[in-house]
Structure 1
């Protein structure tokens, strides 16, 4: 993956990410990888990033619980997908494993705070982790088995995404390819044989949601990125395959000799994930980094609405296609370019209150009305691997302030990547997350969940004191 920008929004030079790692296994087949990968074959740096991604997923789920969509989906699942296999993160109710995957995937993406991957053009965590958690709980899997299943889900799902974008001309949701990753993770936890894994992935690809994401971001609703449904399809597909239900071989598995699959177990796509400092579409984040630069250069915490006479954003087409209304719902604020930018300039930041409490704020709305969006051909040419934007603000006193080209914080090569996660979780001291041991917690996933539905995510790896040898 290319380095997104020579300059981090904070002014710190980005470090080029080493995306190829020392080979640990020479797996070249998807089915063999799902069945055969061991925890010992997962490099320490991948384990560490996995731990931070699990923590980040717990933050996203906690942030999503107050939203109306989280209550609707969890009530629906509790009424129609009853069972005692797995736990709803919203309130601890017990339901079937596919039901929990549906509810928890929706909750984890209710606020657009979850992780992503640039070349996948979407979000793996909120599809794969809920399916793995539900299946791990239902099967009595160990915490190590749970974490290993997530790694498998990410590696398979992200490659399915890259292959899908090459194969299909239209841009579909994360739930479309995420269902394949969720099926792979679920199949591993069910200990399926290769031919059953083949069926599970085939079923998931066949029945996955195929919603068009550009319509979803232009007309935001609770449907969003189909995370919950992708998780549900993945979990259901694995259970059906375990029962003997067959399917056509997926195009992804059938095309297994492509380079995107040939490096399974040698190059870790999980290491190319990004995390989000702001609860909105990732395509907006470079612009928010520009707003941060503008305020820093002015030496101001925020700008009064009356001070600003013009705001110009130069960006790529996908960002320009986001909604531009004054939002009346949280979803309209999350999939929006002008509202997050105006909120940042006017209030000095963009947080959870910006997509809930501040909806329709007149001062923010005035600044939003001044925003002009220009698609820059050079910035468009770099998308999706490189996502950059620039911002120019004209003030009432005649001054013009430029941000320069900015990329988002939390990219895979950002040296402050882990801090982005920690800063989203202020109730947990930094020291607790400073050092990860290589081994998972010695516990069963369902026992951890019985203590706290998010415990398996909040404590992803066993941690030891700095002085421990």
Structure 2
């Protein structure tokens, strides 16, 4: 059970992966992941936490690595840290067992510049990073009961960072084993439960910055023959228990490598907030279409346990807290200030928004728990009651964006232009979008250069 050679098998697969062996649909999805993460980085750079972080990182001195959305150039490790943080800053980034893009795409862009990588190299590194990140996440995922106390994403997303960096450095399988061992030994603790404790969310959020930096550092150390533990995932003391989990399912890490592509299942968000809350905002849209936006006296959300347990409390004081506050987000959606357009600082103190948020109540519906825990669904029933006592309800089981897979490219394109254009201009944004979809003809440096304001 434990002596599975998981580390060795993953390292061999990463080392042997070639662009030419990737299915066309996987390449297409990787390009959408690239575009989506870039838009999140550009938009995330404008938030107060990101500006504060950049100010501190710049004290280390000027570097040569560009990061989408800012004019400053940073050292390689700082660029990886900053890019991973900005990618997740809006909470608009992709989703599947965490936010895989935040610890893959910024790292690939940073290392790719230094390594002189071309577009095909970039796509291959992104695919490798996504696959390993999500497979390790699945295999080390704690039981539901354990996850109520111990939960983290950056802990194992560190391996997405190290693998994408290692691939761009063309490391051998043995050196990739070393790199993963070094990354696992330095990976951040699982912080999600404390990060969201009592509704006061720290600005580091999932701590993706340090996960990104550790991945880049570990790959470069391995490239210089710096030794790491070469079986980091294996044995009764493997990474699964290091990360606080209570189970290890190694088959999920290696089964179907090169045949079943986890990147295919990645979801893109329609709203700038936690994925758990997307269904509720879709339900509000349905109610508005039926009922209009007449005076509402009460909005009740019946949902699986996690929503009333972790996504309410005192009204938010920051954009970060707002991303995880269901009543506040529902109020914005009802008032036509949809999180699909991002979140605005001025709404945090708007009396109209706050008054409506206070009328939103979350209720636990035990009948919905099984769908959430076992079926990867996010069921909610939203009931809106007006001042005359008339009510209307809507039930949504899965976010609209996940259901409408045929419109995925349209969603990513709309997000890309709505976020990037105001900062870089329509011409540069169109150029960047076209370049991403023909990235094989370009270098990483060419792409990043046009994403700098």
Question: Normalised by the shorter chain, which TM-score bucket?
Answer: 0.7 to 0.9
Equivalence for 1:65: 45
Q: Does 1:95 align with 2:74?
A: yes
The 1:280–1:329 alpha-carbon spacing in structure 2 relative to 1, beyond 3 Å, is: same
The 1:105–1:131 alpha-carbon spacing in structure 2 relative to 1, beyond 3 Å, is: same
Equivalence for 1:337: 326
Secondary structure at 2:440's aligned position in 1?
A: coil
Name whichever of 225-234 and 347-356 sits farther off: 347-356
Partner of residue 301 from structure 2, selected from 313, 317, 328:
313
Cα deviation for residue 373 of structure 1 reads 1.0
Tell me the alpha carbon deviations over residues 144-178 of structure 1, each in whole angstroms, 9 at most, x when there is no partner: 10111000000000111111214793343321111
Matched residues in 2 for 1:129 and 1:403: separation? 36
Equivalence for 2:448: 449
**Unaligned residue ranges in structure 2 (runs of 5+):** 1-6, 236-247
Q: Does 1:124 align with 2:100?
A: yes
Matched residues in 2 for 1:354 and 1:439: separation? 31
Counterparts of residues 68-79 of structure 1 (less than 5 Å): 68-79=48-59
Cα deviation for residue 376 of structure 1 reads 1.9
Q: Conserved in 2, the CA contact under 8 Å of 1:81 and 1:99?
A: no
Partner of residue 417 from structure 1, selected from 395, 400, 408:
408
Partner of residue 104 from structure 1, selected from 77, 80, 83:
83
Q: Conserved in 1, the CA contact under 8 Å of 2:182 and 2:218?
A: yes
Q: Conserved in 2, the CA contact under 8 Å of 1:173 and 1:226?
A: no
Equivalence for 2:204: 223
Q: How many residues align?
A: 419
Counterparts of residues 46-445 of structure 1 (less than 5 Å): 46-80=26-60, 83-84=63-64, 86-117=65-96, 120=97, 122-166=98-142, 169-170=146-147, 171-217=150-196, 218-249=199-230, 251-252=232-233, 258-298=251-291, 300=292, 302-303=293-294, 307-320=295-308, 321-347=310-336, 349-352=338-341, 354-384=343-373, 385-411=376-402, 414-424=405-415, 425-426=417-418, 427=421, 440-445=439-444
Cα deviation for residue 221 of structure 1 reads 2.1
Secondary structure at 1:392's aligned position in 2?
A: strand
Secondary structure at 1:402's aligned position in 2?
A: strand
Q: TM-score, normalised by structure 1?
A: 0.82
RMSD: 2.8
Q: Conserved in 1, the CA contact under 8 Å of 2:371 and 2:377?
A: yes
Matched residues in 2 for 1:196 and 1:87: separation? 27
Q: TM-score, normalised by structure 2?
A: 0.85
Matched residues in 1 for 2:193 and 2:166: separation? 31
Name whichever of 42-51 and 210-219 sits farther off: 210-219
Matched residues in 1 for 2:40 and 2:382: separation? 28
**Unaligned residue ranges in structure 1 (runs of 5+):** 1-26, 455-469
Q: Conserved in 1, the CA contact under 8 Å of 2:140 and 2:249?
A: no
Matched residues in 2 for 1:40 and 1:333: separation? 43
Cα deviation for residue 439 of structure 1 reads 5.9
